[in-house]
Amino acid sequence: MPWHFTIDVDWVPGSEVGLEGLLDFCDRRKLKATIFVAGRFAETYADLIRDCRRRGHELGTHGWEHGSLEKDEDFRSASYDQQREWIRLATEAVEKASGIRPVVFRAPSLWVSETTLRALENEGYRYDSSVPARRFDCGFGRVHYLKYFRAPSEPYHLSSYHLSLPGHSSIIEMAPSAFLLPTNMATLRVLGLPVMKWMVRRISRRTSRLVFYCHPYEFVHSHRQSFPRNMSKWNMQGMRPENFSLLDGFVEHMMRQGYSPGLFADSFSKALAS
């Protein structure tokens, strides 16, 4: 069974240490990752982004300055022109750093809309991984809207009328996996490996592939990084290098379950051949 190991690189100065650690982790574990990068990070740490590509990872974009803002980039409500501008700037920054034009997108905080789809199509994107299917963060987290709750958990071509419907867009959606809560590093940190294993089991009954994500800042002590004031306290307290061993336990589990890691660009031509 395929799974996608993805990394959301927010624009957080200090978190580059975490990304370096994640690249070494991937080498050790022979994992190829899909790495979504905020444009300003790619601009500032261009050598590191080039290194991601050199090590065989796939690069996408993740907003322009997302991670450093008090009022975050919101792709649910921003105008078409504003969204296109954020995407264009991020695309150029990642292309300049890596030499390859990214075609995979993940919206900051999974805040996405039909307007985003139009902007992505016009910037030449091919894949998106932003729709919060089956996701609703009770109390903590950032997804408190249910508009796309019923979206498919399998890859599908998006509809320009509603992102939770299959349609005729050239862009293929592969939603980050969730069982109310997401299969991500924050859930692993807060609820632990046994709960994550249970979630993976539940999700695998419904879908043939799984998308996991983590952030470089989760592997660096918070006082060594610059966050906006609205970053939540529970999140900051749990940031530490020791999280690599937690992640290692999860990856070990996935391998044992027979999941094999794949990149977006290689995966979906077969899955959607019909």
In this chain, which stretch among 4-12, 72-80, 222-230, 260-268 interacts with Zn ion, using CB under 5 A? Answer: 4-12
Residue 129 or 153: which CB sits closer to Zn ion?
129
> What CA dihedral angle connects 240, 4, 60 and 75, to 10 degrees?
-80
DSSP percent split of the chain into helix, strand, coil, nearest 5: 40, 15, 45
> Exposed, middle or buried, 19 (CB in 10 Å: 0-12/13-18/19+)?
buried
CB 90, CB 106: distance < 8 Å: no
> Residue 127 has which token pair?
């894949």
Regarding 73 and contact with Zn ion (CB under 5 A), the answer is no
The residue among 127, 209, 133 whose CA lies nearest residue 172 is 127
Q: CA–CA distance from 132 to each of 121, 220, 224 (Å)?
A: 20, 26, 30
What is the rounded distance in angstroms from the CA atom of residue 234 to the CA atom of residue 206? 31
Residue 169 or 225: which CB sits closer to Zn ion?
225
Q: Which of 3, 4, 10, 39 binds Zn ion (CB under 5 A)?
A: 10
Regarding 74 and contact with Zn ion (CB under 5 A), the answer is no
Residue 10 or 43: which CB sits closer to Zn ion?
10
In this chain, which stretch among 5-13, 85-93, 121-129, 239-247 interacts with Zn ion, using CB under 5 A? Answer: 5-13
Regarding 128 and contact with Zn ion (CB under 5 A), the answer is no
Least distance (Å) between residue 270 CB and Zn ion: 29
Least distance (Å) between residue 40 CB and Zn ion: 12
Regarding 8 and contact with Zn ion (CB under 5 A), the answer is yes
Regarding 65 and contact with Zn ion (CB under 5 A), the answer is no
Q: Residues in the site for Zn ion, rule: CB under 5 A?
A: 8, 10
